[in-house]
Chain A
Amino acid sequence: MNETTNQEKKTFWEKLLSIDRRIIFLFIAVAISVPLFFKTSLDMPVSPVVQEVYNAIEKLEAGSKVLVSFDYDPGSMPELQPMAESFFRHCFRNNLKVIIMGLWPQGPLQANIALDQVFKDEDIKAKNLQYGIDYVNLGFTAGNEVVIDRMGHDFRESYPADSRGTPLSEIPLMRGVRNYDNIDLILNLSAGYPGTMEWVQYAVDVFHVKLAAGNTAVQAPSMYPYIQTGQLAGVLGGMKGGAEYEIALKRPAKAVSYMFSQAIAHGVICLFIIIGNIAFFSLRKKKTS
């Protein structure tokens, strides 16, 4: 990969091409950190795949049941936590019933952290939401996609009790819920396996339930084929997706404020790519002449 292996004195362009990568690292660190000190809010348009997720929730009638699966761990918090909060805000604002679960061991904990944040909002606090009636946390069950499959027959096959150990039959919210037939929408926050792909393959393809998702930016593109085939309603991709959702919801929060750092860092990388290409072409010109 080394462009210059000859021992002759390197020209400026040659030096630039084989620049020590630690210099690039330094630029990135600065580009990310400095904007954090300026709390700036940016406006941006909402892309269609995000709008579709918003619409999927917005279309539900009050009292509809939404299953939210938390399939990530703290490693993806910066991207997915803002989405989780926005999902909860949206659901509670529209008086939807929320059933929380997780295919990742730490998932349901992330849900609790997000709930704590959301309950600080005045309008949601005013609703005086009650555990077991307005929302419930089923917790984690091991088994990955097998859990999804079994829930298609009966939730109780995977979750005999909620995360607090209360049998599902004793939870008012769960009484009318047997399987996906009784769920109006599944929201999935996913950072890998098991995640949205498994929900598509095992819940949507088999039991024909509606699904919308929030993904890390890495994962989101692999969901586009599923959106195109209608297996998935829409997807929020990474921090940008989260920020757009916050804007669609008219409730800017964390994701929107982080976007400034994001934008500067992208700019820096693009500049580096441009400089790299200028150096590459000036060298090539010199060689041919």
Chain B
Amino acid sequence: MRREVPLILTAIVGITMIIAHFIPPLNILKNLFEDWFFIIAAFAIYLGILNLILVNGDKIYKKQKGWLFGAVVILGFLVITIIGIFFSGGKSFQDPGTPFYYIYMNLYYPLSATMFALLAFFVASASYRAFRARNVEATMLLLAAFILMLGRVPIGEWISAWLPEGYRLGDAADWIMDFPMTAGQKAIMIGIALGVVSSALRVILGLERAYSAGE
């Protein structure tokens, strides 16, 4: 039971999904299974949350280093959850004017956007370190990045304004995007398609089953 049922279930469900793509009357199963997935995920989130609270609660209880921050995690979680579930008008909890929306706009959003904005700095430091003409491959990486970086902003236009139209940095950047970049990306995408097909089959055939074996 423990070992066989999961394997058989994976195989049946997987094959059904593949076949459903070709048999129109089975299409309805696709939607249904996806809905079930969302339901399972909605149940599973309790496990994650419980884990988060236990880990941080343990920190507080044992007065470990940084236990105060553990308290901040739990407090932040409880406040927004209670407000979101009980005090923000049910399903329209995200509408402007609700307390949930206020927390979202003034706490969640600035934190999220700033974390995202850190990338501007990391892009600079990574490109400084990585873009050195060590060999042919690295030089190609460097040149393509350089042309794109300049070609996408007005600086590129200024420094190549003396060239005829169609030959400026922006045009070179467009050409790189349209041809060699598209080619490389197609190769990656086609490879991925086959990789997915193959790993999906391995999963369905039960060859890759670490997630469901054991005991």
Complex: A in contact with B (CB within 8 Å): yes
Is the contact region of chain A dominated by helix, strand, or loop, or is it mixed?
A: helix
Q: Mark A1-30, 1 if CB is under 8 A from B, else 0.
A: 100000000000000000101001101110
Interface presence of A262 (CB below 8 A):
yes
Interface presence of B146 (CB below 8 A):
yes
A228 touching B149, Cβ below 8 Å: no
Q: Mark B175-211, 1 if CB is under 8 A from A, else 0.
A: 0011001100110010000000000000000000000
Chain B: minimal CB distance from A10 (Å): 16
- Restricting to B153-173, which residues have a CB under 8 Å from any CB of A? 153-155, 157, 170
Tell me which residues across on chain A come within 8 A of B134, comparing CB atoms.
Answer: 280
Interface residues on chain A, size class: 35 or more
Tell me which residues across on chain A come within 8 A of B120, comparing CB atoms.
Answer: 28, 32, 265
- State which of A25, A43, A48, A272 has its C-beta within 8 Å of the C-beta of B127: A272
Interface presence of A167 (CB below 8 A):
no
State in angstroms the CA–CA spacing of A106 and B108 once bound together.
Answer: 13
State in angstroms the CA–CA spacing of A109 and B96 once bound together.
Answer: 8
Given known A28-B124, A266-B153, A267-B155, contact A221–B181 (CB-CB < 8 A): yes
Q: Mark B124-142, 1 if CB is under 8 A from A, else 0.
A: 1101110111100000001
Tell me which residues across on chain A come within 8 A of B113, comparing CB atoms.
Answer: 74-75, 77
Interface presence of B87 (CB below 8 A):
no
Most buried by B among A24, A29, A273: A273
Interface presence of A259 (CB below 8 A):
yes
- Restricting to B31-87, which residues have a CB under 8 Å from any CB of A? 31, 34-35, 38
Given known A75-B113, A146-B31, A222-B185, contact A24–B157 (CB-CB < 8 A): no
B152 touching A240, Cβ below 8 Å: yes
- State which of B31, B157, B170 has its C-beta within 8 Å of the C-beta of A150: B31
A-B contact count (CB 8 A): 111
Interface presence of A105 (CB below 8 A):
yes
B127 touching A269, Cβ below 8 Å: yes
B174 touching A266, Cβ below 8 Å: no
A24 touching B185, Cβ below 8 Å: no
State in angstroms the CA–CA spacing of A142 and B135 once bound together.
Answer: 48
For A228, the closest partner residue in chain B by CB is B182
Interface presence of B94 (CB below 8 A):
yes
Chain A: minimal CB distance from B134 (Å): 8
Chain A: minimal CB distance from B28 (Å): 11
Chain B: minimal CB distance from A193 (Å): 14
Interface presence of A47 (CB below 8 A):
yes
- Restricting to A40-57, which residues have a CB under 8 Å from any CB of B? 42-45, 47-48
Interface presence of A115 (CB below 8 A):
no
Interface presence of A176 (CB below 8 A):
no
A269 touching B181, Cβ below 8 Å: no
B155 touching A25, Cβ below 8 Å: no
Chain A: minimal CB distance from B131 (Å): 5
**Given A28-B121, A267-B153, A272-B124, 15 other A-B residues pairs in contact with their CB atoms under 8 A:** A24-B128, A29-B121, A47-B170, A48-B174, A74-B109, A74-B112, A75-B112, A146-B35, A224-B178, A228-B178, A259-B153, A262-B153, A263-B154, A273-B127, A280-B132
The 8 closest A-B pairs by CB, nearest first: A21-B125, A263-B153, A25-B121, A266-B153, A280-B132, A272-B128, A42-B154, A74-B109
Chain B residues with CB under 8 Å of chain A are 31, 34-35, 38, 94, 96, 105, 109, 112-113, 116, 120-121, 123-125, 127-129, 131-134, 142, 145-146, 149-150, 152-155, 157, 170, 174, 177-178, 181-182, 185-186, 189
